Amino acid sequence: MLVIPRWKLWTILGICFFGMVFAMPNLLSPERLQTMPSWLKNTVNLGLELRGGSYLQLEVDLKEVAKEYLSNLLDETRLNLRKQQIGYTNLVVESKGTASPSLTFLLRNPDDAEQATKVLRAIDSGLTVSVENAKVTAILSEQMLEHRNRSIIEQSIEVVRRRVDESGTKEPIIQRQGADRIVVQLPGIEDPAEVKKLIGRTAKMTFRLVDSATPPVVGAPGSMPYKSAPLGTEYLEEVSHEGQVRYLAVKKQVMVSGESLIDAQATFSHTGQPAVSLKFNSVGARKFADMSAQNIKKQFAIVLDDKIISAPVFQDIIPDGNGQISGHFTVKEANELSLLLRAGALPAPLKVIEERTVGPSLGADSIHDGKIGTVVAFILVSIFMFLCYGTFGFFADIALIFNLILLFAGLSLLQATLTLPGIAGIALTIGMAVDANVLIYERIKEEIRAGIRPLAAVDAGYKRAVTTIIDSNLTTLIGAAVLFEFGTGPIRGFAVTLALGILISLFTALSLTRLIIVLWARRQKVLALPL
Amino acid sequence: MRRLQLVPYNTALNFMGFRFITFAIAAVVTLASLTGLLTKGLNYGVDFRGGFILEVRMPQSPDVPQLREKLSALGLGEVVLQEFGDARDLIIKVERQEGDDHAQENAVDRIKGTLGAGVDYRKIETVGPKVGSELVQNGLKAVAFALMAMLVYIAIRFEWQFALCAILALAHDCIAILGLFSLFPFEFNETAIIAILITAGYSINDTIVIFDRIRENIQKYKKLSMGELINKSLNETLSRTTLTATTTLLALLALYFFGGKVISTFSLPIIIGIIIGSFSSICLAAPLLSYLNLKRGEEVKE
């Protein structure tokens, strides 16, 4: 019993020492922390509800993208069906309920089914086509949908990140969640309205020609023109700051799209108006030069998310891929627009489905109260253990201190996020951490009552308690692992704290207190245990 | 120095003797909880139903009834106004508005307008209804999987009889806690799920310590009847059971009284849960074992 191998002694002391080192940054002031080497900079990551800030959960409208994709195939389908002389009616894209959108049409002659299928497959090999009672239905195949959706989410995250970064938010966290969600955490932001406005816009920009043969329609904002636009064009609202809006007939064909932009900056036009300067890549520049050369003195439209932000006239050929939009912007709007254009268009509309904002005062209060609660819990449990077990209780208290130190070291190293339930979890750890010691001490007491000599009793007590401790802790550890795997958000955070707490209390109870007891026993040369 | 001794070391409480009383208590608790769950359902928080919550600190103590009237007059549907700790602190809960994000923002703005200037907005939450129902489903699914994994471990490490009794005790705990959330004005939200988890985790820990002793004693005392054996094991582990429950409750009480408003509302159900969990492991799980034909040492030899 009294012999502990030297390597074991040093391992235990080493773990305790490094625990203290890695927990220490949490005690430093932010200024002092800056001067520490990078491996010592990790502190416990406070959740937004503790440090204040905004949390947004966004849903990517994947269905809308699939619908748009199929809608783009309509014209080609129409054309090819005619070419093959297949009679059809009711060619539409359907998107109802939760089912994935589909392109459908009715065959005039059901015998054409095979050929119609061929036509569709030739247009897009990623379509799954089925025919039932002369009704042809094409949907995007499972694999293609999956593949596309994955890249849409990744791209959306990228765009959101660029937009948030450009808006100057410090340390934002942008993560994918589940199949179609993005979580954005903005520490320190108290009013997420600005950021939401930035994130919520698709920012798809196109340059299109205005149909000069169709006169513009004037109406109240939001009221679409009653008459339909000529084939190949559509009425789009022109943004202005007056009470009325103009609707211009704009060609559907896109001459140049925002994808060929390489830069956008807020600037001022030669008349001193706020404007946005654009720079295109070589392909875009060439297209822009062609477009301007062929349409000199004609009006074109700069369309952003189905709204015309500016409808200037080509005065000259624009050869070098540099352009300028001077709409009816304020300086702020020009800044915002240039930011959106720089960050790129979102591949799919995003919807805010959850929003939480915590002011800094509440977070600070929660930390303050949480600290006090934890300290009181620690003091109460320590006194109680001492009252019950005397010197041995004091040993358990030392183990408890290291339990907390190691927990903070672990949380700092793992960069796990500490949330409110996490604080409760820590306090609970204090209560439960002594359990292993209680189990051991009670066993030792039993051995002594059975008439076994003190040191032998300590040895036997440890040995007998180990199975129970392992059984009970391993069960909880398995539970924590499953929770981490299937849980989300706070539940996951709780699982990490729980698992860490269990591993650490196993170490402190089985190794650290044992070491302390051995060292103490050697010095005392005891005959009676102070239990 | 005299040590504090919660339980004398040589207790001989006849747990098996009053098992019918404890079984009856458990049955009543379970029935009451199930009735509450089936008739009243759970008191879902805004997290689950969708809607928004504002936690505000007013510049001075407001006239709550008057404010409630003013906010109700906004026509935003049901508006709940709760005083929260300090007289200046209020929680305002509003159901989800029809329409899109703008409708929600608009409603928040109108509330802000009604409250006036100088208000510290400590927390604003808006949740869509879809997120809410997903939170419950995912949370409960995670809990169910975790419990199943623990039971599989028990079945492997012990025998199936132990796992069965642990399931029954755990089911009792979970139903009782859910009943607590249904019958009393505790809001059922994501932290409530964590409260259930902590209770279940504690309870199973407690149960295993007792089962471990029963398993050990089965080998040791081959002549003892099952009832006597369970009684003996319970008495031997009683001082540990009470000590650990005490330290855990001490920590939770510290949180309840000093941990701030949010944490204290979170710790109260856990405090009750620890008591329920301790009860179920001593008075349900272990006595139930006597009804299942456990393999005794002698039988193994035969």
- Tell me, yes or no, whether A423 lies in a domain: yes
Q: Which residues of B touch A365 (CB under 8 A)?
A: 260
Question: So what's the architecture of B51-127 in CATH?
Answer: 2-Layer Sandwich (3.30)
Q: Closest residue of B to A351, CA-based?
A: B101
pLDDT-based confidence at residue B300 (cuts at 50, 70, 90): very low
- Segment A201-229 shows an average pLDDT of 78
Distance in angstroms (rounded) separating the CA atoms of residues B239 and A495: 29
Q: Which residues contact B138 (CB under 8 A, 6 or more apart)?
A: A486, A487, A488
Q: What is the CATH number of the domain that holds A122?
A: 3.30.70
**A29 with A114, same domain?**
no
Q: Which of A154-158, A217-221, B184-188, B238-242 has the lowest mean pLDDT?
A: A217-221
- The residue among A56 and B116 whose pLDDT is bigger is A56
Percent of chain A predicted with pLDDT > 70: 96
- Tell me, yes or no, whether A160 lies in a domain: no
Yes or no: say if A278 and A323 are a contact pair by the CB < 8 Å rule.
yes
- Segment A77-83 shows an average pLDDT of 87
User: What token pair was written down for A330?
Assistant: 């304020």
- Segment A484-496 shows an average pLDDT of 80
Position A227 scores a pLDDT of 66
A154: contact with B, CB 8 A cutoff: no
Cα within 13 Å of Cα(A13), Cβ side: 9
Position B25 scores a pLDDT of 93
**A337 with A382, same domain?**
no
- Tell me, yes or no, whether A183 lies in a domain: no
Domain that holds residue A335: 205-342
Q: Which candidate in B52, B202, B248 is best for mutational testing of the A interface (most A CBs within 10 A)? A: B248
**A103 with A225, same domain?**
no
Q: Which residues of B touch A488 (CB under 8 A)?
A: 135, 138-139, 142
Q: Which of A102-106, A416-420, B143-147, B207-211 has the lowest mean pLDDT?
A: A416-420
Position B302 scores a pLDDT of 34
**A305 with A330, same domain?**
yes
Yes or no: say if B123 and B57 are a contact pair by the CB < 8 Å rule.
no
Q: DSSP readout, A251-319? A: ESS-SEEGGGEEEEEEEE-TTS-EEEEEEE-HHHHHHHHHHHHHTTT-BEEEEETTEEEE--B--S---
Q: Which residues contact A71 (CB under 8 A, 6 or more apart)?
A: A93
Average pLDDT, chain B: 85
Domain boundary among A107, A124, A141: A141
Q: Do B257 and A498 touch (CB under 8 A)?
A: no
- Tell me, yes or no, whether A239 lies in a domain: yes
- The residue among A459 and A96 whose pLDDT is bigger is A459
Q: Which residues contact B112 (CB under 8 A, 6 or more apart)?
A: B119, B121
Position B210 scores a pLDDT of 95
Q: Which of A193, A370, A478 sits opposite B153 (nearest CB)?
A: A478
**A300 with A370, same domain?**
no
Q: Which residues of A touch B253 (CB under 8 A)?
A: 380
Q: Do A369 and B204 touch (CB under 8 A)?
A: no
Q: Do A354 and B131 touch (CB under 8 A)?
A: yes
- Closest chain B C-alpha to A431 CA, distance in angstroms: 4
Q: What is the pLDDT of residues A375-412, one digit of tens each?
A: 999 999 999 999 999 889 999 999 999 999 999 999 99
Q: Which residues contact A207 (CB under 8 A, 6 or more apart)?
A: A254, A255, A256, A257, A288, A291, A300, A301, A302, A303
Q: Which residues of B touch A446 (CB under 8 A)?
A: 236
Position A528 scores a pLDDT of 66
- Tell me, yes or no, whether A172 lies in a domain: no
Distance in angstroms (rounded) separating the CA atoms of residues A375 and B106: 43
Distance in angstroms (rounded) separating the CA atoms of residues A439 and A446: 11
Distance in angstroms (rounded) separating the CA atoms of residues B166 and B209: 12
Q: What is the pLDDT of residues B46-82, one digit of tens each?
A: 667 778 888 888 888 888 888 888 888 888 877 888 8
Q: Do A421 and B194 touch (CB under 8 A)?
A: yes
- Spans of all domains in chain B: 15-44+132-290, 51-127
- Segment B167-189 shows an average pLDDT of 89
Element (H, E) at A417: strand A417-418
C-alpha distances (whole Å) from A505 to each of A411, A419, A477, B169, B264 are 15, 21, 12, 26, 25
- Segment A260-267 shows an average pLDDT of 85
Q: Which of A21-30, A469-478, B20-29, B39-48 has the lowest mean pLDDT?
A: B39-48
Cα A33 vs. chain centroid, distance in angstroms? 27
Q: Do B142 and A366 touch (CB under 8 A)?
A: no
- Segment A279-286 shows an average pLDDT of 86
CATH number of B15-44+132-290: 1.20.1640.10
Q: Which residues of A touch B55 (CB under 8 A)?
A: 362
- Segment A317-329 shows an average pLDDT of 79
**A338 with A389, same domain?**
no
Checking if the pLDDT of A193 tops 90, the result is no
Distance in angstroms (rounded) separating the CA atoms of residues B135 and B129: 10
Yes or no: say if A80 and A119 are a contact pair by the CB < 8 Å rule.
yes
Checking if the pLDDT of B112 tops 80, the result is yes
Distance in angstroms (rounded) separating the CA atoms of residues A355 and B124: 8
Position A530 scores a pLDDT of 66
**A515 with A419, same domain?**
yes
Position A243 scores a pLDDT of 64
Q: Which residues of B touch A472 (CB under 8 A)?
A: 204-205, 208-209, 212
> Of chain A residues 174-203, which have a CB less than 8 A from chain B?
190, 193, 196, 200
> Of chain B residues 273-302, which have a CB less than 8 A from chain A?
none
A389: contact with B, CB 8 A cutoff: yes
Secondary structure (3-state) at A459: helix
Position A223 scores a pLDDT of 65
pLDDT-based confidence at residue A455 (cuts at 50, 70, 90): confident
User: What token pair was written down for A180?
Assistant: 């179609």
Distance in angstroms (rounded) separating the CA atoms of residues A45 and A22: 14
Q: DSSP readout, A17-37? A: HHHHHHHGGGGS-HHHHHTS-
Checking if the pLDDT of A241 tops 60, the result is no
Percent of chain A predicted with pLDDT > 90: 14
- Segment A192-202 shows an average pLDDT of 81
Q: Pick from A10, A425, A312: which is nearest to B267 by CA?
A: A425
Checking if the pLDDT of B299 tops 50, the result is no
Q: Do A431 and B239 touch (CB under 8 A)?
A: no
Position B301 scores a pLDDT of 39
Give the pTM.
0.77
- Closest chain B C-alpha to A478 CA, distance in angstroms: 6
Which residue shows structure tokens 């879902």? Answer: B44
- Segment B289-299 shows an average pLDDT of 73
A223 class by beta-carbon count within 10 Å (0-12 exposed, 13-18 middle, 19+ buried): exposed
**A329 with A390, same domain?**
no
Average pLDDT, chain A: 85
Q: Which of A359, A476, A488 sits opposite B123 (nearest CB)?
A: A359
> Of chain A residues 294-323, which have a CB less than 8 A from chain B?
none
Q: Do B146 and A427 touch (CB under 8 A)?
A: no
Q: Do A377 and B55 touch (CB under 8 A)?
A: no
**A291 with A438, same domain?**
no
Percent of chain B predicted with pLDDT > 90: 32
User: What token pair was written down for A184?
Assistant: 């954005």
Q: Which candidate in B101, B120, B133, B194 is best for mutational testing of the A interface (most A CBs within 10 A)? A: B194
The number of distinct structural domains making up chain A is 3
Yes or no: say if A46 and A435 are a contact pair by the CB < 8 Å rule.
no
A398: contact with B, CB 8 A cutoff: no
pLDDT-based confidence at residue B297 (cuts at 50, 70, 90): low
Cα within 13 Å of Cα(A500), Cβ side: 26
Cα A102 vs. chain centroid, distance in angstroms? 30
- Segment A118-142 shows an average pLDDT of 87
- Tell me, yes or no, whether A150 lies in a domain: no
- Tell me, yes or no, whether A389 lies in a domain: yes
> Of chain A residues 82-111, which have a CB less than 8 A from chain B?
none
**A407 with A367, same domain?**
yes
- Segment A247-262 shows an average pLDDT of 84
**A68 with A121, same domain?**
yes
Q: What is the pLDDT of residues A141-192, one digit of tens each?
A: 888 888 888 888 988 898 898 888 877 777 888 988 878 899 999 888 888 8
**A39 with A74, same domain?**
no
> What are the backbone angles phi and psi of residue A55, rounded to the nearest 5°?
-125, 125
